[in-house]
Amino acid sequence: MGLEDDGRGPRSRGPVQAARLRSGDRRLPPAGGIAMSAREPSRLAIREMAAGELVLVQTIHASAFGRDEEARLPHAIVSAGHDVISVVATDGDYFVAHALFTALEGADRALALGPVAVVPDRQGEGIGVRLVRFGLDLARERGWRSVFVLGDPGFYGRLGFRANLARGAVVPWAGPNFQALELVPGALAGWSGVLVYPDAFGAGDDEDDD
Ligand SMILES: CC(C)(COP(=O)(O)OP(=O)(O)OC[C@H]1O[C@@H](n2cnc3c(N)ncnc32)[C@H](O)[C@@H]1OP(=O)(O)O)[C@@H](O)C(=O)NCCC(=O)NCCS
C-alpha cells in the first residue's frame, strides 16, 4: 500500500520503553518475521502491520492496558479470518503503537476500531492520533464507509468520532462512549440496525473498551 507516514516523533526513544520491548522480543520465536533493519533513533514510521508481527503487537497492548484482554484481541480476530486493517508505529527497531480496524456486519462497509495502544512511555506525543488518522485514511481509500469505536470521547472526539452518529446502532455497549465516524459523508445518515461484532470482542462485556 502506498500510504506511509514517516514523520519524526517529537521526543527521542526512552530507555524504559526500549527495555520493555526488548524483553518482549526475547519471547519471540527466532523466525518470527519481525526483524527490522536498524534505523536512526526517534524516526517514527507508521505503516500497515506485516505478517508475523502480531506477537509484537500483543506486547504493545499488554504494556499499554496492563492486562491481557486487549492484547489477545488482534490475534483472535486475525486468526479467525476477519477482514482487518492493522496499523503500527515503529521507531527504529522498536514497535511503539498499534491500532486495529475490523469489518463489522450490519452496516454498509463499516469497521470497528480497537484496540488502540501506544506503549506507556511514548504516550502523549501525538502518536495515537497520527496512527488512527493513518488507518482512517487507508480505510477510506479502500472503500470503507464508517468506523465505530468504544472509547474516551476526549481522545476519539479529536479524530472526528461523534456519539450521535452511533445512536442508530444496536450494540451491547451503547452509550456516550460509543461513537462513530463517517468516512464517506452521510454514510450513517438515517441508518439504524444491529451491529454484529466478531465473537472475539466478547459482546455482552466491556472487553473492547478502548
Ligand atoms: C489512548 C492512547 C491510544 C492515546 O495515544 P497517545 O499517543 O498517548 O495520544 P496522543 O498523544 O495522540 O493524544 C492526543 C490528545 O488526546 C489526549 N488523550 C490521549 N489519551 C486520552 C484519553 N484516554 N482520554 C482523553 N484524552 C486523551 C491527549 O491528552 C492529547 O491531547 P492534547 O493534544 O490536548 O495534549 C494511549 O494513551 C494509550 O495507549 N493508552 C492506554 C491504552 C488505552 O487506553 N487505549 C484506548 C484509548 S480510549
Give the DSSP H/E element, type plus range, for residue 18: helix 15-26
Sign of CA dihedral 2, 77, 51, 23: positive
Atom of ligand 1 minimally distant from the CA of 61? 42
Contact 160, 181 (CB under 8 A): yes
Pocket test for ligand 1, best of 123, 130, 158, 161 (most atoms within 8 A of CB): 123
Query: For residue 207, how far is its CA from the centre of ligand 1 (angstroms)?
Result: 18
| Domain spans in the chain, listed from the N-terminal domain onward | 15-145
- What confidence category does residue 202 fall into, taking pLDDT thresholds of 50, 70 and 90? confident
pLDDT digits (tens, 9 = 90+) for 26-58: 333 222 222 343 444 468 999 999 989 999 999
Write the pLDDT tens digit of every residue in 138-154: 999 999 999 999 999 99
Q: What confidence score (pLDDT) does residue 4 get?
A: 52
Minimum-distance ligand 1 atom for the alpha carbon of 114: 46
Of the candidate CATH numbers 3.40.630.30, 3.40.50.300, 3.40.50.620, 3.40.50.1000, the domain formed by 15-145 belongs to 3.40.630.30
Ligand 1, atom 22, residue with closest C-alpha: 155
What mean pLDDT, rounded, does the chain reach?
A: 82
